[in-house]
Amino acid sequence: MSLATLDATQHPYLPAASATLFGAKAAKKLSFEQIAQHIGRNEVAAAAIFYGQAKASTEDIQKLAGLLDIPKPHLEEQLSGFPDRGRSVEMPPREPLIYRLYEIVQNYGYAYKAVLNEKFGDGIMSAISFSTKVEKEVDADGHPWAVITLRGKW
Amino acid sequence: MSLATLDATQHPYLPAASATLFGAKAAKKLSFEQIAQHIGRNEVAAAAIFYGQAKASTEDIQKLAGLLDIPKPHLEEQLSGFPDRGRSVEMPPREPLIYRLYEIVQNYGYAYKAVLNEKFGDGIMSAISFSTKVEKEVDADGHPWAVITLRGKW
Amino acid sequence: MSLATLDATQHPYLPAASATLFGAKAAKKLSFEQIAQHIGRNEVAAAAIFYGQAKASTEDIQKLAGLLDIPKPHLEEQLSGFPDRGRSVEMPPREPLIYRLYEIVQNYGYAYKAVLNEKFGDGIMSAISFSTKVEKEVDADGHPWAVITLRGKW
Amino acid sequence: MSLATLDATQHPYLPAASATLFGAKAAKKLSFEQIAQHIGRNEVAAAAIFYGQAKASTEDIQKLAGLLDIPKPHLEEQLSGFPDRGRSVEMPPREPLIYRLYEIVQNYGYAYKAVLNEKFGDGIMSAISFSTKVEKEVDADGHPWAVITLRGKW
Amino acid sequence: MSLATLDATQHPYLPAASATLFGAKAAKKLSFEQIAQHIGRNEVAAAAIFYGQAKASTEDIQKLAGLLDIPKPHLEEQLSGFPDRGRSVEMPPREPLIYRLYEIVQNYGYAYKAVLNEKFGDGIMSAISFSTKVEKEVDADGHPWAVITLRGKW
Amino acid sequence: MSLATLDATQHPYLPAASATLFGAKAAKKLSFEQIAQHIGRNEVAAAAIFYGQAKASTEDIQKLAGLLDIPKPHLEEQLSGFPDRGRSVEMPPREPLIYRLYEIVQNYGYAYKAVLNEKFGDGIMSAISFSTKVEKEVDADGHPWAVITLRGKW
Amino acid sequence: MSLATLDATQHPYLPAASATLFGAKAAKKLSFEQIAQHIGRNEVAAAAIFYGQAKASTEDIQKLAGLLDIPKPHLEEQLSGFPDRGRSVEMPPREPLIYRLYEIVQNYGYAYKAVLNEKFGDGIMSAISFSTKVEKEVDADGHPWAVITLRGKW
Amino acid sequence: MSLATLDATQHPYLPAASATLFGAKAAKKLSFEQIAQHIGRNEVAAAAIFYGQAKASTEDIQKLAGLLDIPKPHLEEQLSGFPDRGRSVEMPPREPLIYRLYEIVQNYGYAYKAVLNEKFGDGIMSAISFSTKVEKEVDADGHPWAVITLRGKW
Amino acid sequence: MSLATLDATQHPYLPAASATLFGAKAAKKLSFEQIAQHIGRNEVAAAAIFYGQAKASTEDIQKLAGLLDIPKPHLEEQLSGFPDRGRSVEMPPREPLIYRLYEIVQNYGYAYKAVLNEKFGDGIMSAISFSTKVEKEVDADGHPWAVITLRGKW
Amino acid sequence: MSLATLDATQHPYLPAASATLFGAKAAKKLSFEQIAQHIGRNEVAAAAIFYGQAKASTEDIQKLAGLLDIPKPHLEEQLSGFPDRGRSVEMPPREPLIYRLYEIVQNYGYAYKAVLNEKFGDGIMSAISFSTKVEKEVDADGHPWAVITLRGKW
pLDDT 10s digits, D108-128: 999 999 999 999 999 999 988
Pick the catalytic residue from H100, H129, H131, H135. H100
The CA-atom distances, in angstroms, between J2 and each of H83, I119, J30, J147 are 11, 9, 10, 20
DSSP state of I13: T
Q: What is the pLDDT of residue I99?
A: 97
* pLDDT above 90: residue A1: no
What span, in angstroms and rounded, lies between the C-alpha atoms of G67 and G55?
18
Q: What is the mean pLDDT of residues I136-152?
A: 96
Q: What is the largest CA-CA distance in chain G?
A: 51
Mutate to test the interface with E, among J122, J129, J154 (most CBs of E within 10 A): J122
User: Using CB atoms, which residue from G81, G91, G127 is nearest to C7?
Assistant: G81
**Cβ within 8 Å of residue J62, ≥6 positions away:** J72
pLDDT for A114 equals: 96
Instruction: Determine the residue of chain B that is closest to F83 in CA distance.
Output: B122
pLDDT of residue G128: 87
What is the average pLDDT across H78-94?
Answer: 95
Residue among I22, I24, I19, I18 nearest I5 (CA): I22
Please check whether residue C16 touches B, CB under 8 A. yes
Angle ∠(J70,J75,J80) on CA atoms, nearest 5? 165
Q: What is the pLDDT of residues C123-147, one digit of tens each?
A: 999 988 999 999 999 999 999 999 9
CB atoms within 10 A of CB I136: 12
Answer whether residue C103 shows pLDDT above 90. yes
H helix or E strand, kind and range, residue A82: none
Catalytic residue among A59, A77, A90, A100: A100
Q: Does G29 touch chain J (CB under 8 A)?
A: no
For residue D96, the chain B residues in CB contact (below 8 A) are 103, 107
Question: CB distance A1–B118 less than 8 Å?
Answer: yes
Nearest to H82 among I55, I82, I122 (CB): I122
Instruction: Please report residues of F whose CB lies closer than 8 A to that of A26.
Output: 77, 80
> Can you say whether the dihedral through the CA atoms of G60, G64, G66, G71 is positive or negative?
negative
Rounded Cα distance between D150 and D152, Å, is 7
DSSP state of J9: G
Contact between C94 and H106 (Cβ < 8 Å): yes
pLDDT for residue F92 = 96
Residue H13 CA to residue C79 CA, distance in Å, equals 51
Bond from prior residue into C144 cis (ω within 30 degrees of 0): no
Average confidence (pLDDT) over I11-27: 97
In this structure, what is the dihedral angle of CA atoms C121, D50, D92, D13, given to the nearest 10 degrees? -130
pLDDT tens-place string over residues G5-56? 999 999 999 999 999 999 999 999 999 999 999 999 999 999 999 999 999 9
pLDDT at G22: 98
Q: Is residue E27 within 8 angstroms of chain B, CB to CB?
A: no
* Residue in H10, H93, H95 nearest the CB of D15: H10
Sheet containing strand A130-138, strands side by side = A130-138, A144-153, B144-153, B130-138
User: Residue J1: pLDDT above 90?
Assistant: no
The pLDDT of D25-36, averaged and rounded, is 97
H100 Cβ neighbours under 8 A, 6+ residues apart: G124, G125, G126, G127, G152
Give the three-state DSSP class for G135: strand
Q: Which chains have 3 or more CB–CB distances shorter than 8 Å to chain I? A: E, F, G, H, J
Contact A18, A50 (CB under 8 A): yes
Give the active site residue among A126, A129, A131, A135. A126
Of the candidates B77, E13, E134, which has an alpha carbon nearest to the alpha carbon of residue F109? E134
d(C-alpha C112, C-alpha C108), whole Å: 6
Out of E77, E90, E95, E126, pick the active-site residue.
Answer: E126
Residue D134, judged by CB atoms within 10 A of its CB (0-12, 13-18, 19+), counts as buried
Mean of pLDDT values over B127-150 = 95
> Exposure of E152 by Cβ count < 10 A (0-12 exposed, 13-18 middle, 19+ buried)?
buried
Q: Is pLDDT above 80 for A44?
A: yes
Q: Per-residue DSSP letters for chain D?
A: -------GGG-TTS-HHHHHHHHHHHHHT--HHHHHHHHTS-HHHHHHHHTT-SPPPHHHHHHHHHHHT--HHHHHHHHSS----S-S--SS--SHHHHHHHHHHHHHHHHHHHHHHHHH-SS---SSSEEEEEEEEE-TTS-EEEEEEEEEE-
| pLDDT attached to residue G148 | 97
Residues from chain G contacting residue D123 (CB–CB below 8 Å): 128
Is pLDDT larger for residue E95 or for residue A128?
E95
J90 at the H interface (CB within 8 A)? no
The enclosing H or E element of G73 equals helix G72-79
Residues of chain B contacting C130 with CB distance shorter than 8 Å: none
CB A108 within 8 A of CB B42: no
pTM for this structure?
0.96
Cα of D73 to nearest chain C Cα, Å: 25
Q: 3-class DSSP state for residue J68?
A: helix
CA angle B133, B139, B143 (to 5 degrees): 90
Catalytic residue among G126, G129, G131, G151: G126
Instruction: Tell me whether residue E103 is one of the annotated catalytic residues.
Output: yes
Exactly one of I57, I80, I126, I131 is catalytic; which is it?
Answer: I126
Find residues 52-81 of chain J whose CB sits inside 8 Å of chain E: 55
Stretches in chain E below the pLDDT threshold 70 = 1
For F29, which DSSP code? T
Complex ipTM over 0.95: yes
* Ramachandran region, residue J122 (left: φ > 0; alpha: ψ -120 to 50; beta: rest): beta
DSSP state of G143: -
Mean pLDDT of chain H: 96
Quick one: DSSP state of residue A8? G
| Alpha carbon of F27: minimum distance to chain J alpha carbons (Å) | 10
Give the mutation candidate from B58, B60, B79, B82 for the F interface (greatest F CB count, under 10 A). B82
Answer whether J31's CB lies under 8 Å from J1's CB.
yes
- Cα gap I132→I150, rounded to integer Å: 5
- The residues, any chain, with a CB within 8 Å of residue D113's CB and separated by 6 or more, are C4, C95, C97, C98, G82
Q: Do chains F and J touch (3 or more CB pairs under 8 A)?
A: yes
CB-count exposure of residue A23 (10 Å: 0-12, 13-18, 19+): middle
Backbone angles phi, psi at E151, to 5 degrees: -135, 115
Nearest CA distance, F66 vs chain E (angstrom): 22
Percentage of the residues of chain H whose pLDDT score is greater than 90? 96
Residue H22 half-sphere exposure toward CB, CA atoms < 13 A: 24
Question: Cis link prior to E92 (omega < 30° from 0)?
Answer: yes
What distance in Å separates the CA atoms of residue J50 and residue J68, rounded to the nearest whole number? 12
Contact criterion met (CB below 8 Å) for A21 and A49: yes
Q: Does D92 touch chain B (CB under 8 A)?
A: yes
**Across residues G108-127, what is the average pLDDT?**
96
In chain F, which stretches have pLDDT less than 50?
Answer: none
Integer CA distances (angstroms), B84 to B17, B88, E8, F111, G116, in order: 12, 10, 11, 13, 54
Identify the pLDDT of residue D128: 87
Other Cβ atoms within 10 Å of A25 Cβ, number: 24
Please state, in angstroms and rounded to a whole number, the distance separating the CA atoms of residues F41 and F32.
10
Residue A56's alpha-carbon distances to A153, H4, J138, in angstroms, are: 21, 41, 71
Closest CA to J13 of J45, J52, J47, J48: J52
Strand order in the sheet with E130-138: E130-138, E144-153, F144-153, F130-138
CB atoms within 10 A of CB J27: 11
Which DSSP string do the residues of A16-74 spell out, in sequence order? HHHHHHHHHHHHHT--HHHHHHHHTS-HHHHHHHHTT-SPPPHHHHHHHHHHHT--HHH
Determine the Cα–Cα distance for residues C35 and C60; give it in Å rounded to an integer. 10
Q: In what order do the strands lie in the sheet with D130-138?
A: C130-138, C144-153, D144-153, D130-138
Distances in whole angstroms, Cα of residue D128 to Cα of each of C134, D134, D152, I45: 18, 18, 7, 49
Which amino acid is located at C149 in the chain? T
The pLDDT score that the predictor gives to residue A25 is 98
d(CA E1, CA F54) in angstroms, rounded, equals 37
Average pLDDT, chain J: 96
Cβ count near C30 (within 10 Å): 17
In this predicted structure, the answer to whether residue I53 has a pLDDT above a threshold of 80 is yes
Q: Which of C31, C33, C83 is nearest to C57 (CA)?
A: C83
Has residue I64 got a pLDDT over 80?
A: yes
Q: How far apart are CA D48 and CA D66, in angstroms?
A: 19
pLDDT digits 0-9 by tens, C60-92: 999 999 999 999 999 999 999 999 999 999 999
Contact list, D122 vs chain G (CB under 8 Å): 55, 82-83
pLDDT at C114 over 90: yes
C126 Cβ under 8 Å from any chain D Cβ = yes
Quick one: average pLDDT of A93-122? 97
Number of H helices and E strands in chain G, helices first, is: 6, 2
**Which are the catalytic amino acids of C?**
100, 103, 126
